[in-house]
A and B are shown apart, each in its own frame.
Chain A
Amino acid sequence: MIFKTRFTGALLGAILSTTALQGAMADDDTIKIGVLHSLSGTMAISETTLKDAVLMLVEEQNKKGGVLGKKLEAVVVDPASDWPLFAEKARQLIAQDKVAAVFGCWTSSSRKSVLPVFEELNSILFYPVQYEGEESSRNIFYTGAAPNQQAIPAVDYLANVEGVERWVLAGTDYVYPQTTNKILKAYLMSKGVAEEDIMINYTPFGHSDWQTIVTDIKNFGSAGKKTAVVSTINGDANVPFYKELANQGIKAEDIPVVAFSVGEEELAGLDTEPLVGHLAAWNYFQSVDTETNAEFIETWHAFTGDAERVTNDPMEATYIGFNAWVKAVEAAGTTDTDAVLDTIIGVSVPNLTGGYSTVMPNHHITKPVLIGEIQADGQFEVVQETPAVVGDEWSDYLPDSKDLIADWRKPMECGNFNVATGKCGGKGS
């Protein structure tokens, strides 16, 4: 694996040095921003879209006259789905290319890898993907959903509307599903669900043979209580999972599956006819009927030249992060990191679902939670929408972190303040 990584690195190094050169030649009348998304390797399937989204936002902003009278210029690098390479590329963006802010990362592993770099070199990262929480850094803005902005409302919906009493928590075996499932299990048990009514199942990345597990789910669901599956299955493994569900005849009316990592993009590779009614929880769906969204989709189709390209939740998170950054820079009158960190808290920008998202002192944002059902055309139909929820960085349902809060305003300026002891510096860094 290491061997493979090196080779990819060398190959890409050649390509990237050309990008870096272009960056170096740019004149001083531009503001540079970094794009740190994998364009090759396993995560390219999801991250390439976000790279395009940032490029589109930059182009749109430049049409409006740029920022502070200067044009924006995106510096794109390819960390190749390789976590250590993310840190190297982040360092290159900040130290060599002198970018004002970076938009990037998808997996939590990549974010954890670049976090020390951003703190050391004092730059800003906008992270646009739903994640497991339990983190708040001075230099990172989490514009995706925290567990309380996605997982918990979804579980509430199943329990209240569908009357679910028995739960299968199925996930890919890595940090996001493990932490989310830990939080969900604690939450469900606090709601009086018995331990034997919760089944937790982990599978490797890219798992493709779901026969046994789908049968297990079916058997678990035949105990006379309404059963649902909460899926944190990631990426490539979803398509074979849903195909197996459809073939074994598990209908949404009998055992609904609610997924946190399945969006329009993932469904694009599937025939969704047999999956109608299965659910997903996000903060945005392409089908949301608002004017800003229609405009966004139109710009996206024009930018990519493909009228079939779908939009998804992390794109909206990128959109919000980008606009919040622009607004904060304009308020600060400079792209200097400390000044922007100061002005960005409290900044409100429109989101695509008809409301506003505000950057909170804990570096998370407010966003509504939408529960959608899969439709036959591969889109989602919203069946429930909550008012805007504040992202909760430290979960209230884990004993280690229920006393922690983050507040990056002066004078507290702390990412893990313990309200029980009154000291900064609880769990984590």
Chain B
Amino acid sequence: MIRFLSSLILLLTLAVSGHAQGGADPRPLIDALGKANFKQAEELLGQIAATGDARVAPALEAFAAGDLYARKSDGAVFIAKPAGKNFKLIDPLSGEEVEEAGKGAVAKIKINNNLRRVIRSTLGGLTLLSPDRATRLRAAEAVMRSPSAENLELIEAALEKESDGAVKARMEQARAVSLLASDRGVEEKRAAIDTIRSLGGRPAIAILMTAAPAVDPALKEDLNHAIRQLESNLAAWDVAQNVWYGLSLGSVLLLAAIGLAITFGVMGIINMAHGEMVMIGAYSTFVVQQLIRTNAPQLFDWSLLIAVPVAFLVTGIVGLVIERGVIRFLYGRPLETLLATWGISLILQQSVRSIFGPTNQEVGNPSWMSGSFPLGGMTVTWNRMWIILFSISIFLALLALMKKSSFGLQMRAVTQNRRMASSMGIRTPWVDALTFALGSGIAGIAGVALSQIDNVSPNLGQAYIIDSFMVVVFGGVGNLWGTLVGALSLGVLNKFLEPSVGAVLGKILVLVLIILFIQKRPRGLFALKGRAVEA
């Protein structure tokens, strides 16, 4: 109770002194954060902002990141960086290291979303005049995301001094956003609406809609007009966005199906363990990342590239063993093959579950696979873009292998006429084994990519097995191009249905359409013709 009272008194005195003199020392305010609850902290942040002291920026950044700690012995507040089992305590204002303290000697200052928002806007206001260009740009963006009239003067002052073109443009927009929230004149606000409109896209609509309820009646028409215009621009982009999402879903389907296009499409094996090959590929990625994390963390960004050959080899060898051990005894008996491979899939799942445990494993995204960039009116995420490029290049590489290499020639010869190929001196059992290993290896590579967007759990493969068969059958068994076109068109179709009928119904509709399509064309989009088919 006494502690509470004293902190209350402390707060009150601070409130008074904070308002009385603009350039007060921010240190007592920062120290007071250690005892404040969420509401008091918000008030303290307001006072810290009022000091206008840019030195507090690192402390606020640390607060937002949850790195601000209070020392239990005297209540002093520090930025804490983990150092082994201890924390390195850093002075919040000077940035000097003070001491190392055990984890028990300090208490974390709690933060919630509300405070993070306040900090973002405060930091924006405080760092507008920073000498660093990137910091100023970030500051302008922060101001733009949390419109408030208080920031208007700050940003106008900053605008006058700004010389960098890009930063200036961003600041103009931030000024317009803050201006709409202020009580400036109608004409100025009208100009601000125009500036925001030129920003374009969803963010602009969001800003204008936020301002809408409080806006001057005289401006209502301008505002609505601007919103309508922005929305009609977006309609075209929405179509582009849907196509992009469709291609992206299609590329995932292609990745999952392309290995099956070889084992099922070319060799005719109903391979129910295909999904598990994808899963093993994903776990290989996990193991590679684990090794890199413990042995060579600086290589982390390369982990996926390293995982690709590893996954290919691991799953290829597993595939080879399965073919030599089980499938070669079952050629020409599709039902038994189906049962046997399905049994294998259960065995593989359960072994992975026993080795790695039933829970998800964390596969990290390298920095070049994270985040997104705007492209006109749509957002493109990096991981999806790389996956599209990756699956297309796998497809092209496979195509080249099939058409240009002697192994590809033998492979095609064996599938088209086994006895003839055998008479020509091709060792057909080995071609079978290597083809199956190739298909499995490619499924493993797909696993590397899928580990970036899906769970890495023993069930990973199950989610893709049905889709994979769907794509191969739809595209036409035995035809690689069919798999490509099939995967991409199913993806796009799915993504165009989804916004209007929802994900659940969309999936059902796609299945129904495929069933109808197969009734009409049993051999799929690109049917193989010729003697091989009849045989």
Known A243-B453, A249-B371: A268·B360 in contact at CB below 8 Å: yes
CB neighbours (8 Å) of B458 from chain A are 44
Give Cα A204 to B498, complex, Å: 12
Interface residues on A, range: 35 or more
Query: Please, which residues of chain A bring their CB within 8 A of the CB of B494?
Result: 209
Contact across chains for B212 and A224 when beta carbons are under 8 A apart: yes
B457's partner among A236, A243, A271 (CB-CB below 8 A) is A236
Given contacts A202-B502, A215-B241, A269-B359, contact A236 B459 (CB under 8 A): yes
Q: How many A-B residue pairs have CB under 8 A?
A: 156
Q: Is A17 an interface residue (CB 8 A)?
A: no
Tell me whether A211 and B504 are in contact in the complex, defined as CB-CB below 8 angstroms, given that A222-B205, A246-B370 are known contacts: no
Check B210 for interface membership: any CB of A closer than 8 A.
Answer: yes
A186 CA / B116 CA spacing, docked (Å): 31
**For residue B112, which residues in chain A have a CB less than 8 angstroms away from its CB?**
161, 277, 373, 383
Give the contact-size bracket for chain B.
35 or more
- Interface residue? B390 (CB, 8 A): no
B362 touches A271 (CB 8 A): yes
B382 touches A247 (CB 8 A): yes
Which of B113, B360, B463 contacts A269 (CB under 8 A)? B360
- The answer to whether A248 touches B381, judged by C-beta atoms less than 8 angstroms apart, is yes
Smallest CB-CB separation from A279: which chain B residue? B113
Contact assessment for A212 and B499 in the assembled complex, using a CB-CB cutoff below 8 Å: yes
Binary contact readout A204-219 vs B (1 if CB under 8 angstroms, 0 otherwise): 1011110111011011
CA distance A326 to B503 in the complex (A): 46
Q: At the interface, yes or no: B263 with Cβ under 8 Å from chain A?
A: no
Interface residues of B in 107-146 (CB under 8 A from A): 108, 110, 112-114, 116-117, 120, 145
Interface mask (B450-465 → A, CB under 8 Å = 1, otherwise 0): 0011111111001100
Partner of A240, one of B114, B116, B454: B454
Contact with A along B370-393 (1 / 0, CB 8 A): 111000000101111000000000
Residue from B114, B245, B452 having most chain A Cβ neighbours under 10 A: B114
Q: How far is the CA of A291 from the CA of B365 in the complex (A)?
A: 37
| Docked pose: A226 CA to B498 CA in angstroms | 25
Q: Is B174 an interface residue (CB 8 A)?
A: no
Instruction: Give the complex CA separation of A274 and B365 in angstroms.
Output: 11
| B353 (CB) vs chain A CBs: closest residue | A44
Q: Are A208 and B495 in contact (CB under 8 A)?
A: no
Q: Is B90 an interface residue (CB 8 A)?
A: no
**B252 on the A face (CB < 8 A):** yes
- Write the B463-496 contact mask toward A (1 if CB under 8 angstroms, else 0): 1000000000000000000000000000000110
Judge whether A21 is part of the interface by a CB distance below 8 angstroms: no
Chain B: CB-nearest residue to A202: B504
Known: A161-B114, A224-B211. A204 touches B504 (CB 8 A): yes
Q: Is A252 an interface residue (CB 8 A)?
A: yes
> Is A11 on the interface with B (CB-CB < 8 A)?
yes
CA distance A211 to B503 in the complex (A): 11
| Cα–Cα, bound, A224→B459 (Å) | 40
Residues on the A chain within 8 Å of B502, using CB: 201-202
Provide the A1-43 mask, 1 if CB < 8 A to any CB of B, else 0: 0001001100100000000000000000000000000001010
Flag if B503 contacts A213 (CB, 8 Å): yes
Instruction: Report the bound CA distance from A48 to B456 in whole Å.
Output: 17
Contacts of B206 in A (CB 8 A): 221-224
CA distance A420 to B311 in the complex (A): 65
Residue A254 at the B interface, CB < 8 A? yes
- Scoring A residues 58 to 74 as 1 if CB is less than 8 Å from chain B, else 0, what string do you get? 00000000000000000
Q: Which residues of the partner chain A approach B371 to less than 8 Å between Cβ atoms? A: 247, 249
State whether A222 and B209 are in contact (beta carbons under 8 Å apart), knowing that A204-B504, A269-B359 are contacts in the complex: yes
Chain B residues positioned under 8 Å from A204 (CB to CB): 503-504, 507
> Which residues in window 211-262 of A have CB below 8 A to B?
211-213, 215-216, 218-219, 221-225, 236, 239-240, 243-244, 246-249, 252-254, 256
B-side contacts of A44, CB under 8 Å = 353, 358, 458
Q: List residues 156-212 of chain A with CB under 8 A from any CB of chain B.
A: 161-162, 173, 201-204, 206-209, 211-212
In the assembled complex, the CB of B337 is this many whole angstroms from the nearest CB of chain A, namely: 15
Q: Identify A271's interface contact among B65, B209, B365, B381, CB under 8 A.
A: B365
How far apart sit A324 and B161, CA to CA, in the bound complex (Å)? Answer: 69
**Cross-chain contact B346 with A11 (CB below 8 angstroms):** yes
- A8-B346 contact given A162-B113, A209-B252, A224-B209, CB 8 Å threshold: yes
User: Is B350 an interface residue, CB under 8 A from the partner?
Assistant: yes
Q: Cβ of B280 < 8 Å from any Cβ of A?
A: no
> What is the minimal beta-carbon distance from A10 to any residue of chain B, in angstroms?
11
The interface bits of chain B over 344-374 (1 if a CB of A lies within 8 angstroms of the residue's CB, else 0) are 0010001001000011111011000011100
In the complex, how many angstroms separate the beta carbon of B390 from the nearest chain A beta carbon? 16
- The answer to whether A396 has its CB under 8 Å from any CB of chain B is no
Chain A nearest Cβ from B327, distance in angstroms: 19
Q: Which chain A residues have a beta carbon within 8 Å of chain B's beta carbons?
A: 4, 7-8, 11, 40, 42, 44-45, 48-49, 161-162, 173, 201-204, 206-209, 211-213, 215-216, 218-219, 221-225, 236, 239-240, 243-244, 246-249, 252-254, 256, 265-266, 268-271, 274, 276-277, 279, 373, 375-376, 381, 383
Having A212-B242, A212-B245, one finds 13 other A-B pairs with CB under 8 Å, namely: A42-B462, A44-B353, A44-B458, A161-B38, A161-B114, A208-B454, A209-B245, A212-B495, A213-B498, A236-B459, A243-B365, A253-B113, A276-B65
- Which 6 residue pairs spanning A and B have beta carbons closest together? A269-B360, A224-B209, A222-B206, A224-B210, A247-B381, A203-B503
